[in-house]
Amino acid sequence: MPNGIKKSDLPSKLCPACQRPFTWRKKWARDWQNVVYCSDACRKKR
């Protein structure tokens, strides 16, 4: 990454629908505390 942060150092969470870990994305920067599911498919599946 251009600013020197490794992907392995980014925060991650566990998706309750598929039980897979997912990492922080820039589009979730403002709302990371409220992100629960890794994708729209998992959100619909809940």
The pLDDT assigned to 2 comes to: 63
Q: Global pTM?
A: 0.76
Taking the CA atoms of residue 36, residue 31, residue 10 and residue 22 in that order, the dihedral angle to the nearest 10 degrees is 20
CB-CB contact of 35 with 11 (8 Å):
no
Domain ranges of the chain: 7-45
Measure CA 19 to chain center: 12
CB-CB contact of 40 with 34 (8 Å):
no
Q: What is the pLDDT of residues 37-46, one digit of tens each?
A: 999 999 998 7
pLDDT band at 6 (very low <50, low <70, confident <90, very high): confident
CB-CB contact of 12 with 22 (8 Å):
yes
| Phi and psi angles of residue 21, each rounded to the nearest 5 degrees, phi first | -75, 145
